[in-house]
Amino acid sequence: MRDLTESNLKMLAGSRSFERGRGYLDAVSGVEVGDGWISASVHGTERYEVELSLDGPGGLSGECDCPFGLEGNFCKHLVALGLTMLARPEGLPRQRKAAQDRAQDLDGWLSAQSKDELLALLREQLGEDRQLRRRLEVRAASARGDLAAVRARIRELLDIGPFAQYGYVEYADARAYADQAEQAVSAISALTGSGRAAEAIPLVREAMKLLAQAVESVDDSDGWLGQVGDGLADAHLDACRAASPDPGELAHWLVGHALGESGDDLTDIDPLDYEDVLGTEGMAALRKLAVEAWQANRRGWAEKYLMERLAKAGDDVDAVIAVHAADLAPNGHTHLVIARELDTARRRDEALDWAERGVRETQDLAAVDTALVDYLCDRYVQADRFADAVALRRDHFGARRTLLPYQQLRTAARAADCWPAERESALALLRADAEHRQQGRYGGPVLVDALLDDKDVDAAWHAATEGGAHDRQWLTLADQARATRPADTLAVYVRLAEPLTKETGNAVYEELVSLLLSIRDCHRRLGTPEEFTGYVTALRTAQKRKRNLMRLMDEHGL
């Protein structure tokens, strides 16, 4: 109990979840204290069951069935339960001692009962607890060697019928169905544990298919069935390890499952987890089947992924490259993936060759993967090949002619000490685009964006005046030129403010007030404050019904 402290709760949950947990103190109910654990219900968007473990090997820990908690996180609901218990510290030791006494009393009482009395008690419980009855029915069928009964029971457990309305399990019933389906996992694991692992293997594979079929008709928004699928994957691996099935047959099934041939895309099984079961013979068969599948469909995602996993597991970089090289993306992305694999293998010259090939083989440089261009330019700079970096940035800018490639060309050219010449050429292209009304990020000419980014305000103003500009560009221009062009920028601000006076909404009002502050500054610079006073007076008269606007103007002294 020493571990149950505010500092430990905050450390486990993090500051954000800890603070949010404070808001759930009134939502904690049904607190039960056991020997080493505390459980409760916490009512949030749903009712969640939480349990704190006090004496675990790692100290304080907890579990919650909320989505965040199911991912292994110490959530706000656990924080709420912990803080609730800390608020009544004097009662916790007493309650825990009482739980220990109850457990000892119960154990003593059960030990004193006769076999017939215990059977009667168990039968009574089976009449009330359907889940317990189902688990024991499967165990009984397994113990007497009735595999048909076990199979039938597992099919019943995975049947959505009792939970489905109109053939579909709604969100509210998905958890209950998942709890029932989880019993199928327990039944299969029990079969393996009883020494019948060879019989468990076909059963778990059938269960995987049934679960995959069921998920199509279940609103599994919280991922409950995914957890059941994980349980089935573990049960299959355990059964295979216990039964040592034929390596060739297992390899064939694993490859088929990885390629989706089993119809089960819910259970995530990694063939490499079975390396100890497959042995040398089975792994050879697995690789052979994977290669055959990939050769038959080199563009298949599953085939490529399986081949890549096997190649990486065997540290076979050339095989990894062969997989990627068989289906090169037209934008050079695959070339970049290969280059990075070669970098990892310390084969940097080959990596550079593949990156350069990716740029050469890209039919449309405007569509090239920009990460490939960045990678290649970085390599050029590292090798002091500044001219090559500039040439690539120049070509890329020439193909795309947007602000970002312009900025990247500027960076490369400055490093190579040739920006003035490159800038003139780049701006010439942008001037030609402006004449043809090619637009930039705000809808106006890229030329204006580039000149603004260069801090060449006068040139940008001239370009906007000659070729037009988007309102956002004009606003940026006005903000940057206000000190030197107060009369010109005043006209811009007034023009931009006019349409806002016809709109409503707090965001509009904030934008309008910002423009009014700029208009006031222009009048101050021009020495015409009385004109601004008249402008604002007329505006307030016309807009007086907009109370939020009036309040905002008052706050800014307008």
Residue range 352-376, pLDDT digits in tens: 999 999 999 988 899 999 999 999 9
| Contact residues for 440 (Cβ-Cβ < 8 A; gap 6+) | 402, 403, 446, 447, 448, 449, 470, 473
Q: Reply yes or no on whether the pLDDT at 1 is more than 70.
A: no
Q: Is residue 65 part of a domain?
A: yes
CB atoms within 10 A of CB 200: 28
Q: Do both 520 and 541 map to the same domain?
A: yes
Calculate mean pLDDT across residues 531-545: 93
Given this model, what pLDDT does residue 83 score? 93
Q: Do both 59 and 144 map to the same domain?
A: no
Q: Is residue 538 part of a domain?
A: yes
Given this model, what pLDDT does residue 263 score? 67
Q: Reply yes or no on whether the pLDDT at 328 is more than 70.
A: yes
Q: Do both 144 and 222 map to the same domain?
A: yes
User: What is the rounded CA–CA span in Å between residue 104 and residue 109?
Assistant: 9
Given this model, what pLDDT does residue 195 score? 87
pLDDT, tens digit, 9 for 90 and up, residues 227-283 = 899 999 999 999 999 999 999 999 999 999 998 876 666 788 889 999 999 999 999
Q: Is residue 316 part of a domain?
A: no
pLDDT, tens digit, 9 for 90 and up, residues 125-139 = 888 877 778 778 777
Given this model, what pLDDT does residue 443 score? 65
Q: Do both 32 and 49 map to the same domain?
A: yes
Calculate mean pLDDT across residues 159-182: 88
In this prediction, what percent of the chain has a pLDDT beyond 90?
60
Q: Is residue 136 part of a domain?
A: yes
Q: Is residue 477 part of a domain?
A: no
Q: Is residue 370 part of a domain?
A: no
Q: Please, are residues 77 and 86 in contact by the beta-carbon 8 Å criterion?
A: no
Tokens 């047959």: give the residue: 249
DSSP 436-486: TT-B-TTSSBHHHHHHHHTT-HHHHHHHHHHH---HHHHHHHHHHHTTT-H
Tokens 């056991």: give the residue: 34
Q: Do both 92 and 198 map to the same domain?
A: no
Looking at 90, 112, 134, the residue that finishes a domain is 112
Of 312, 321, 367, the residue nearest 342 (C-alpha): 321
Number of domains in the chain: 3
Q: Do both 197 and 126 map to the same domain?
A: yes
Instruction: Name beta bridge partners: 168.
Output: 165
| 376 residue type, one letter | L
Band of pLDDT at residue 203, cut at 50, 70 and 90: very high
Alpha helix locations (H) across 87-196? 91-112, 115-128, 130-143, 147-157, 171-193
Q: Do both 73 and 166 map to the same domain?
A: no
Looking at 82, 112, 142, the residue that finishes a domain is 112
Calculate mean pLDDT across residues 495-512: 93
User: What is the rounded CA–CA span in Å between residue 318 and residue 297?
Assistant: 19
Q: Please, are residues 207 and 265 in contact by the beta-carbon 8 Å criterion?
A: no
Q: Do both 60 and 132 map to the same domain?
A: no
Q: Do both 54 and 104 map to the same domain?
A: yes
Q: Do both 92 and 137 map to the same domain?
A: no
Q: Is residue 377 part of a domain?
A: no
Band of pLDDT at residue 442, cut at 50, 70 and 90: low
Which domain range does residue 209 map to? 119-245
Q: Do both 108 and 174 map to the same domain?
A: no
Q: Reply yes or no on whether the pLDDT at 32 is more than 80.
A: yes
Given this model, what pLDDT does residue 526 score? 95
Burial 291-317 (b: 16+ CB within 10 A, else e): bebbeeeeebebbbebbbbbbbeeeeb
Sheet of 28-33: strands edge to edge? 28-33, 37-43, 47-56, 59-64
pTM check: above 0.75: no
Given this model, what pLDDT does residue 516 score? 96
Q: Do both 132 and 215 map to the same domain?
A: yes
Looking at 112, 140, 169, the residue that finishes a domain is 112
Given this model, what pLDDT does residue 264 score? 66
CB atoms within 10 A of CB 130: 11
Q: Is residue 301 part of a domain?
A: no
User: What is the rounded CA–CA span in Å between residue 550 and residue 387?
Assistant: 58
pLDDT, tens digit, 9 for 90 and up, residues 141-167 = 777 767 888 888 889 889 999 898 888
Q: Reply yes or no on whether the pLDDT at 34 is more than 80.
A: yes
Q: What angle do CA 259, 262, 268 make, to 5 degrees?
A: 65
Calculate mean pLDDT across residues 7-30: 91
